[in-house]
């Protein structure tokens, strides 16, 4: 059964799988402290159950835990520290070797060391990222600099522009300070994410893993301060003229951001799955908690808890509004009796009351358009950018932290990006 709000805090880290500790302060500060304590941290190797795998992996790393091949391919740069770890790789920040002249905060970039699958070669996530990011170029999409290959270690490293925060951290910081994210910041972040998504979709790219930890935010002062960048293209793919059905790619999108059509086992899906995830992001920015969260069930089973959680808030999907519902595997087969699920008293909640907002406000209207059950009726990124929500004060800006005093309306602000 779907979960109520209780127990939510403990689940945040479980699903975000970025930093293990509460992200209440800038990443920089936390990392410095961690370095000082010198506590051994869980790494890829420590998660492996098999002893042989452990020994093999340990021998491919230097004494500092930095992969050996990485230090070799990055001559001229210092590996400063590890900044993140996800399912497909470990991310480090590196910096041009100090010649006594350069500012410590410049000349930095992020480098992802892919967790290679032994003997099977390079992982698909790396291939997807390299293939797509070398061509993408937009202010709201992460820029990849180079691909480094350590032939001896059969390892792949990708370097990107270094961005010092992610949205997950920003949300957690506000949670710990019991502060709402200012309206201007929420609007600007959403507007920038939508611009990035619109760019991707117009270029036939589906991201398939939009979530707070995959949205990076520049906080340093400078030209791109306060800009949001979509990162982690490990699940992304082109959706034009596909030779294989998309479903053959397996499970996509982190559970809490996964759309109903994916949960219900659709045969076909479209970029609308990214728009559902953007809706979940929007709700989370307003609420400082995920909108729909549940415990992940093991294996490749129907994630009934997640679907029920959605129904608790949005009501039951109807075949009138969504005729293709009858073609969804789990609906058709009535898996876990999903067709008859009714939230018990106390579980049903309305979006507007969850967010303490008025039913008729433009933010709720836009959010509901993103969380439309029928993917064909769900708002597109291009349409969302023209929504009334962005046509009123505070107008969104290219610096989500500092309101642009000059701009009057989103059209003017487009020039500044």
Ligand X SMILES: Nc1ncnc2c1ncn2[C@@H]1O[C@H](COP(=O)(O)OP(=O)(O)OP(=O)(O)O)[C@@H](O)[C@H]1O
Catalytic residues: 209
For residue 394, what are the contacts with CB-CB under 8 A and spacing of at least 6?
A: 183, 184, 187, 403
Q: Is 68 helix (H, G, I), strand (E, B) or coil?
A: helix
2 binds ligand X per the rule CB under 6 A: no
Residue (of 277, 300, 301) closest to 290 by Cα position: 277
88 interface partner picked from ligand X, Mg ion, none, CB below 5 to 8 A per type: ligand X
110 interface partner picked from Mg ion, ligand X, none, CB below 5 to 8 A per type: ligand X
Q: Is 193 in contact with 140 (CB distance < 8 Å)?
A: yes
**Which one among 67, 69, 89, 283 touches ligand X, defined by CB under 6 A?**
89
**Which one among 88, 218, 270, 336 touches ligand X, defined by CB under 6 A?**
88
Q: Cβ closer to ligand X: 187 or 211?
A: 211
Q: How far is CA 176 from CA 25, 172, 180, in A?
A: 9, 6, 10
**Which one among 2, 57, 94, 112 touches ligand X, defined by CB under 6 A?**
112
CB of 212 to ligand X, least distance (A): 9
Q: Is 401 in contact with 226 (CB distance < 8 Å)?
A: yes
End-to-end CA distance of the chain: give it in Å, rounded: 45
Provide the token pair at 266.
């659709």
Q: Cβ closer to ligand X: 19 or 303?
A: 19
**Candidates 145-153, 158-166, 218-226, 237-245 — which segment interacts with ligand X by CB under 6 A?**
158-166
CA distance 8 to 294: 9
**Which one among 2, 69, 86, 271 touches Mg ion, defined by CB under 5 A?**
86
Residue (of 4, 54, 76) closest to 354 by Cα position: 4
- Number of residues near Mg ion (by CB under 5 A): 3
**Candidates 58-66, 83-91, 338-346, 353-361 — which segment interacts with ligand X by CB under 6 A?**
83-91
**Which one among 2, 67, 69, 86 touches ligand X, defined by CB under 6 A?**
86
Provide the token pair at 202.
């117009």
Torsion of CA 196, 370, 236, 188, to 10 degrees: 20
Binding site for ligand X (CB under 6 A): 17-18, 83-84, 86-89, 91, 110, 112, 142, 160-163, 166, 213-214, 216, 231-232, 234
Binding site for Mg ion (CB under 5 A): 86, 214, 232
């Amino acid at each position: 059964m779907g979960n109520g709000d209780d127990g939510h805090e403990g689940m945040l880290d479980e699903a975000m799988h970025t930093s293990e500790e509460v992200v209440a302060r800038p990443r920089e500060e936390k990392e410095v402290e961690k370095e000082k304590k010198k506590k051994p941290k869980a790494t890829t190797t420590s998660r492996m159950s098999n002893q042989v795998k452990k020994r093999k992996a340990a021998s491919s790393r230097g004494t500092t835990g930095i992969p050996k091949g990485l230090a070799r391919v990055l001559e001229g740069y210092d590996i400063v520290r590890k900044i993140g770890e996800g399912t497909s790789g470990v991310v480090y920040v590196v910096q041009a070797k100090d010649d006594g002249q350069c500012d410590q905060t410049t000349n930095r970039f992020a480098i992802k060391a892919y967790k290679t699958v032994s003997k099977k070669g390079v992982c698909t996530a790396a291939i997807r990222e390299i293939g797509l990011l070398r061509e993408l170029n937009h202010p709201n999409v992460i820029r990849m600099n180079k691909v480094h290959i350590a032939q001896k270690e059969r390892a792949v490293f990708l370097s990107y522009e270094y961005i010092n925060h992610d949205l997950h951290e920003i949300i957690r910081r506000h949670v710990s300070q019991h502060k709402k994210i200012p309206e201007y910041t929420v609007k600007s972040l959403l507007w920038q994410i939508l611009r990035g998504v619109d760019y991707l979709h117009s270029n036939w790219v589906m991201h398939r893993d939009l979530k707070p930890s995959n949205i990076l935010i520049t906080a340093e002062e400078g030209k791109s301060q306060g800009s949001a960048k979509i990162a982690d293209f490990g699940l992304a793919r082109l959706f034009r003229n596909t030779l294989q059905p998309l479903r053959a790619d397996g499970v996509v999108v982190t559970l809490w951001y996964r759309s109903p059509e994916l949960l219900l086992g659709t045969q076909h899906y479209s970029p609308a799955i990214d728009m559902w995830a953007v809706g979940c992001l929007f709700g989370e920015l307003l609420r400082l908690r995920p909108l729909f969260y549940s415990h992940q069930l093991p294996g490749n089973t129907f994630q009934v808890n997640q679907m029920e959680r959605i129904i608790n808030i949005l009501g039951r999907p109807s075949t009138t509004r969504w005729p293709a519902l009858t073609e969804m595997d789990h609906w058709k087969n009535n898996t876990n009796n999903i067709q008859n699920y009714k939230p018990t008293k106390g579980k049903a909640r309305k979006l507007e009351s969850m967010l303490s907002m008025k039913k008729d406000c433009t933010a709720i209207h836009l959010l509901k358009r993103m969380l439309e059950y029928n993917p064909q009726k769900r708002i597109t990124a291009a349409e969302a950018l023209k929504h009334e929500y962005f046509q009123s004060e505070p107008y969104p800006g290219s610096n989500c932290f500092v309101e642009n005093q000059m701009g009057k309306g989103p059209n003017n602000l487009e020039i500044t990006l």
